[in-house]
Amino acid sequence: LKYCLMALLSFSLCLMANLGITLLPTAATATVAPPTQTIAANPLEEAQQLYEAGQYAAAVTVLEQAMEAAQASGDLRLQVLALRNLALVHQRLGQWEQANQAIATSLSLIDRLNDKERLATQASVLDVQGGLQMEQGRMREAIATWETAEAIYRQIGAPEK
């Protein structure tokens, strides 16, 4: 089971990298870097830079602002991705209830995306949800979630590594 889980996680992350889908690093891969002097091109990049610099509270603020702006402008995909990344920050902070709520809200909005955006976005959100489930000791759920994400990646023709 342990090796199956690791293989699924590795496969999913490789597929996401090939699709150009980025995630904030998980607790296992997070590194603390000095704050960057460059200004990010978009709020998701800015939040990622803050996260990588260990400035989690600032990352939460940026992601919440991005979510509100996306909601106001009708940019549903940005809202979903901001929620996905917000879940990752809360996961890093050990704030499981907030992480689970953010990912659940993200998943509830996915069906409203157009088909072209929906599948890749859904797979990336499911990958994060699987990580949350694993971190909380819910291995069977994590594996099932990652299998669903893997099936979506295959459906959209994500290249294998």
Residue 78 to residue 141: CA distance in whole angstroms: 26
At 71 the three-state DSSP class reads: helix
Q: Are 146 and 8 in contact (CB under 8 A)?
A: yes
pTM for this model (two decimals)? 0.72
Q: What is the per-residue pLDDT for 13?
A: 46
Per-residue pLDDT of the chain (161 residues; tens, 9 = 90+): 444 444 444 444 444 444 444 544 444 333 333 444 444 568 999 999 999 999 999 999 999 999 999 999 999 999 999 999 999 999 999 999 999 999 999 999 998 998 778 999 999 999 999 999 999 999 999 999 999 999 999 998 876 53
Residue 3 to residue 9: CA distance in whole angstroms: 10
φ and ψ of 54, to 5 deg: 80, 15
